[in-house]
Amino acid sequence: MPIKLSLYLDLIRWNRPAGWLLLLWPTLSALWIAAGGFPGWHLVLVFTLGTILMRSAGCCINDVADRDFDRHVKRTAQRPVTSGRISTKEALVVGAVLALTAFGLVLTTNRATIAWSFAALAVTLVYPYAKRFVSMPQAVLGVAFSFGIPMAFAAVTGEVPLLAWGLLLGNLFWVLAYDTEYAMVDRDDDLRIGMKTSAITLGRWDVPAILLFYALYLALWSWLLAPIVASPWWWVGVVLACAQVVWHGMLIRTRTRDGCFKAFRLNHWVGLAVFAGIVAGLVR
């Protein structure tokens, strides 16, 4: 049992919290914006736990979908499903249990949030297979990783306003930035096995495109939120995020595996800076 538990924890990337933090910060940001401040502990706990559970479920689905590709990539060859230490059936059962637990949390909110949760699940299921057919599958991931935003608005207000979709679009550009950095780590392996990624599609324009994606993310969120979070603290958060973007640009400029992977892993601090600016700016 201890060995099996260790494999399950490895399956859901328990020791790599950067993945769920990248999902969490924009979701919590949307909660605070929709509520005009602290949204209450119930919604904070529901969306925090739900984010962790759905990210973990997504890892299970992704590993099953990619098991035949992952064995040809050095970084992923020893994943539990790929290496055969966990069967595909086991992984799918674990993923289903995690997703159902997350749905149980959603049931404590309202009808609008419950309805939107089905759309979020559909995008989560589609993404692992998009890498076979879409030249920029990171855009599909961007939708999946941003769906906490409309769900957060639905949970607070019972509807999804145009503002939520604008924030989703901005966040999609952030996902394009950091997941292209991630794709740059495996570009050689992905080219060899015929996988489609934004790093391959963008080619030599990958670094400028990533910086443009970052700029679009911060510009869109600043434009949308400046009238709502009318506080110098918001701009402090934006400046801190911009400083990190400059640093990430330095890390990826030579396109080394270590530099690109480090930039990806540290991206959750960009989201935290933006979230902190929102929280501080909405304190009354």
Whether the pLDDT of residue 15 is over 70: the answer is: yes
pLDDT score recorded for residue 232:
94
Q: What is the DSSP string of 9-78?
A: HHHTTTT-THHHHHHHHHHHHHHHHHHTS---HHHHHHHHHHHHHHHHHHHHHHHHHTHHHHTTSTTTTT
Domain boundaries in the chain?
A: 2-281
Tens of pLDDT along 135-178?
A: 888 888 899 989 999 999 999 999 999 999 999 999 999 999 99
Residue 222 is encoded by which pair of tokens? 């600043």
Tens of pLDDT along 103-141?
A: 999 999 999 999 999 999 898 888 888 877 788 888 888
Closest C-alpha to 131, from 67, 216, 86, 206: 67
What distance in Å separates the CA atoms of residue 62 and residue 66, rounded to the nearest whole number? Answer: 6
> At 1, is the pLDDT very low, low, confident or very high (cuts 50, 70, 90)?
low
Decide if domain 2-281 falls under CATH 2.60.120.10. Answer: no
pLDDT score recorded for residue 280:
95
> At 283, is the pLDDT very low, low, confident or very high (cuts 50, 70, 90)?
confident
Tens of pLDDT along 81-103?
A: 887 788 889 889 999 999 999 99
